[in-house]
Amino acid sequence: MKLHSMGTGFRHGRDFRITRPGGSGDNLLLVFKTPAFVVTDGETEIVPADTAILYTKTAPQDYGAAGEEYINHWVHFECDENDPFFRRLNITFNRPVPLASVPEVERLLELLGIESVSDTPKSRECTGLLLRLLIAQALSGGERSGNPHSEALKRLRAEIYRNPAGKFTVKGLARRLSLSSSYFQSLYRGEFGVSCYEDVLRAKTGLAEYYLVNTSMTVREISELCGFENEVHFMRQFHRRTGFTALEYRSRAAVS
């Protein structure tokens, strides 16, 4: 993918409208930050803020303000529209899609803008990768979560898996979001399909597996390093999730 030009936070009045019957000649990703109208196959649709659309090179483009103010982000770029990347992620061209993760899209646009001003082989490579990630985040996420704490929960979960040895507790994590423990646990399970406690233990077990395979540390040392309460707790939780004792797991890994 090759970036041509981009803009973020462009503002216009109530009369703003873009009409390109033959398309723009390149691919266009739009992110509407205010309500807007989009004409598709002769039908006019009013879309809410934080909606995206990805146009093919020759698709007619007709969109504009649906209120007193119009704000959007736009990215003109070149891509192979038959790239399996789009099929794998079920990305639809020329149809409005609600953003599933607004903060992620905003952060990727910021990174793309930074890379776009540096014309080096590295920046051109990074720009192509960022374009793919931006399209994936903007257009393949499905329906937006109705959970107002969704983004904060995702950040917490990422922190748990980045730092499995951390002393994470449900009470402590809930407090960080100013939520009760019971409500936090309900939201967490609803968002990820697993309890927070189980996620913490899965992350610790995954780290333990790495140390068992790649080091000669003792079970006790690994237990402490992974943040388990004690060696007995570690052995019990490890066996429950892997079906093996720690030493059995190490022996099987050595044979394979």
pLDDT digits (tens, 9 = 90+) for 24-77: 999 999 999 999 999 999 899 999 999 999 999 999 999 999 999 999 999 999
Q: Strand ranges (DSSP E) for the chain?
A: 2-13, 17-20, 27-32, 36-40, 43-47, 51-55, 61-65, 69-78, 97-98
Handedness of CA 183, 188, 189, 190 (dihedral sign): positive
pLDDT for position 256: 65
- CB of 235 within 8 A of CB of 245? yes
Q: Give domain limits for the chain.
A: 2-139, 150-255
Average pLDDT across the chain, whole number: 91
Please state the length of the chain: 256
Q: Is the pLDDT of residue 218 over 90?
A: yes
Lay out the sheet containing 27-32: strands in order across. 2-13, 69-78, 27-32, 51-55, 97-98
pLDDT for position 44: 95
Q: Is the pLDDT of residue 211 over 60?
A: yes
Cβ-based burial of 57 (10 A; exposed 0-12, middle 13-18, buried ≥19): middle
Of 121 and 222, which is predicted with more confidence? 222
- Which are the contacts of 230, defined by CB distance < 8 A and separation ≥ 6? 223
Out of 4-18, 51-65, 137-151, 177-191, pick the least confident.
Answer: 137-151
The C-alpha atoms of residue 74 and residue 148 are separated, in whole angstroms, by 26
Rounded to an integer, the average pLDDT of 213-222 is 94
Q: Which class is 2-139 in CATH? A: mainly beta
The whole-model pTM stands at: 0.63
Name the packing angle between helices 196-214 and 246-255 (round to 10°): 50
pLDDT for position 118: 78
pLDDT for position 223: 95
The C-alpha atoms of residue 226 and residue 128 are separated, in whole angstroms, by 37
Residue 178: pLDDT band with limits 50, 70, 90: very high
Out of 101-105, 169-173, 175-179, 232-236, pick the least confident.
Answer: 101-105
Of 33, 20, 40, 30, nearest to 69 by C-alpha is 33
Assigned CATH topology for domain 150-255? Arc Repressor Mutant, subunit A (1.10.10)
